[in-house]
Amino acid sequence: MVVMEAAAIATRFLNPSPNPNSISNPVLRTVPCRRRQPRLLAVRCVQTPNPSHNPNPARGPPLSCSAVASDQAAPAGIPRHRLARLVDEFRSLPEALDRVKRLLACAASLPAFPEAGRVPTNRVMGCTAQVWLSVAVDEFGRMRFAADSDSEITKGFCACLVSVLDGALPEEVLELRPEDFGDLNVVGLPVKAHSRINTWHNVLISMQKRTKALIAKREGRPSLDPFPSLVIGADGIEAKGSYAEAQAMFLSPDELKIQELVNVLREKKIGVVAHFYMDPEVQGVLTAAQKLWPHIHISDSLVMADRAVKMAEAGCEYITVLGVDFMSENVRAILDQAGYNKVGVYRMSNELIGCSLADAAASPSYMKFLEAASNSPPSLHVIYINTSLETKAYGHELVPTITCTSSNVVQTILQAFAQVPELNVWYGPDSYMGANIAELFRQMADMTDDEISRIHPEHNRNSIISLLSRLRYYQDGNCIVHDMFGHEVVERIKELYCDAFLTAHFEVPGEMFSLAMEAKRRGMGVVGSTQNILDFIKNRVQEALDRDVDDHLQFVLGTESGMVTSIVAVVRGLLGSRESRAKIKVDIVFPVSSDSVSRTSSVNRSQGLNPDVAIDLAKLAVVPGVTAGEGCSINGGCASCPYMKMNSLTSLLRVCQQLPDRDGAIRDYEANRFNTTTPHGKSVADIGCEPILHMRHFQLQAESSTNEAALQALSSQMDAVSLSK
């Protein structure tokens, strides 16, 4: 709505009727240097021809945004001086209409941008319109900027930035921050609320990134090695770096393997549910097999159990689960709850397939955490879905418990606190996610009541401040994969990918979370679940297709690298869905260190082989896996879960081929059906499912009455727990 308002205002003034009293728009002139001291572009006050157009005569005639030649060397701090004058001018215009007119006058001051510069490499990502930016260093070591856009409003933004920064020293360009431009409120609404204002931020960041690169090149400093990436286009995929090559190897799987799997699935009526973080070889085959057998689904952990129920409803007699053990436990329990206890559920290993988060929640220290919660009524235990059924059951007996995912945890906590006064919220077991949730609420506490009500209608600043004082989270649990997105990775992203789209799972450390949240605020990022990340990439690519112009989109993948198979499938599907003359490239960047892939040892593994085979084997890249966590490094990590990689294609075929298991050959592969009881003598399977069912009230129904019913059930339990103490 805000964007439409700005567009409507702009349209009114792009082709105004002739008016002899209209504001003049001086054109930017670049005057050749004739002296050894630099000839700088500076902002000069230019009076309007008709003073009656000045909305605030007491302040004197307004400035234009045009840059004019100055014969004098600029004093230190000239960009801040220029910015202060520009901000002062926009502040002096109380009416939104006048600010838009001024911005359009600024747009007219930009010189023609060379046609040769309108290339994808000069595009600024994340802007609503097309924006081109060129950056150079002159002979005096000062930065020279040129910009253009196909939108007059955006062009006006660019003109203001160029007028402030052109001719500045590199350190002056780098010291400015996006918030310095916060007072340039053009459309009469708060800057944070308007998507087009992201242009200030995105263009500035591109200016600063390219400034740093040019200065490093001029000083002979070695550039940082880029992260590996996959570049997806309508005509194919290009892998950059050995890690990306290892991932890309399985994106076009063997047709014989696909057919072999489909034949056995169809013959024995087997459904497959797999997590996004699966081994790339398995995902490549499963993604291709989906076209031939509909009962294959790849998703996040929550949806896996729901899809298993639908497969059972469609006649599948077995469900194979490609994930960690708590996922197969959830599938087993939810199928039983739905009345499909005769449908077999099988894991992909006869050994434990662990999870660092699930293990953390099963520890004695987590039980002490819950005991403290039980002694602080009224309390609600919000437990991450990535935990065992046994943990959910034991926790639910101690404290009323509801499960959450990374995509609904914030709304779950807000809704619970709105409906149960004086509630104490205990979140676990992911410490990073807990800290990130607390940081989100701290940020909300700085918002206005109106801004908060748009996030949740029953909250305001006072309620959020109260919630913060009552939120506790477990301090000793994390995902071993997301733990790798630490300081080293963040610094490299800032240096090399600050102008790219940034995605981050809610489980990442705080520094990565803050970086992604900053990108999110300017429309360049997403923080959430694996599905949220996939949807974000999908939506940005669709927007590029709708614009139908050449584009290069770059996404930093801030989660497990196994997601790339699903991302590639979605992007290729979109790029191939329509005929277009536009060339669109989508670059998926893996934040992994350069040594995250080891080479196979020709000494240990090539003995006795044909020499040609041994040479080929020695060249193979090994994706980090379960054997030894090959290549994982504190400088970036492998971003690959060793537990998930226990789900091999060989295991899947072996399990499927031996079904039905009449002689018990794969008994150890069968998912646990909990026949044990809780300390209070209740079924672990039944009690462990209750927190999941409570969450479904939040997930499946939008009506507040359903949320109230779920919270009312928890509230009643709180009373019962309090009475029993």
Spot the catalytic one: 65, 106, 127, 498: 127
Asked about 498 being catalytic, the answer comes back as no
CB 277 within 8 A of CB 653: no
Query: Where does residue 544 rank: exposed (0-12), middle (13-18), buried (19+ CB within 10 A)?
Result: buried
- What distance in Å separates the CA atoms of residue 648 and residue 628, rounded to the nearest whole number? 16
- SS3 assignment, position 41: strand
- What distance in Å separates the CA atoms of residue 230 and residue 248, rounded to the nearest whole number? 8
- What distance in Å separates the CA atoms of residue 512 and residue 503, rounded to the nearest whole number? 10
- The two tokens of residue 590 are 């893996």
CB 209 within 8 A of CB 224: no
CB 550 within 8 A of CB 580: no
CB neighbour burial string for 254-285, b if at least 16 within 10 angstroms, e if fewer = eeebbebbbebbeeeebbbbbbbbbbbbbbbb
Cα→Cα distances 698→285, 693, 705, Å: 34, 9, 10
Residue-by-residue DSSP string for 411-477: HHHHHHHHHSTT-EEEEES-HHHHHHHHHHHHHHTTS-HHHHHHH-TT--HHHHHHHHHTEEE-SS-
Residue-by-residue DSSP string for 201-270: HHHHHHHHHHHHHHHHHHTTPPPPPPPPEEEEETTEEEEESHHHHHHHTTSS--HHHHHHHHHHHHHHTE
Cα→Cα distances 279→451, 511, 640, Å: 42, 28, 9
- What distance in Å separates the CA atoms of residue 355 and residue 628, rounded to the nearest whole number? 16
The H-or-E segment that residue 149 falls in is: strand 143-149
Q: What radius of gyration do the chain's Cα atoms show?
A: 29
**Helix, strand and coil in the chain, % to nearest 5:** 50, 15, 40
- What distance in Å separates the CA atoms of residue 584 and residue 121, rounded to the nearest whole number? 12
Name the strands in the sheet holding 270-275, side by side, starting at the edge strand that comes first in the sequence: 296-299, 270-275, 318-322, 344-346
- Angle 340-345-349 from CA coordinates, rounded to 5°: 170
CB 461 within 8 A of CB 470: no
CA neighbor of 444 nearest in space, from 459, 426, 423: 459
CB 355 within 8 A of CB 482: no
CB 159 within 8 A of CB 199: no
Count other C-beta atoms under 10 Å from residue 589's C-beta.
Answer: 26
- The two tokens of residue 710 are 């779920």
- SS3 assignment, position 588: strand
CB 168 within 8 A of CB 41: no
- The two tokens of residue 538 are 């999908």
* For helices 96-108 and 2-14, angle between their N-to-C axes, nearest 10 degrees: 60
CB 424 within 8 A of CB 379: yes
- What distance in Å separates the CA atoms of residue 538 and residue 541, rounded to the nearest whole number? 5
- What distance in Å separates the CA atoms of residue 279 and residue 649, rounded to the nearest whole number? 9
Active site residues: 127
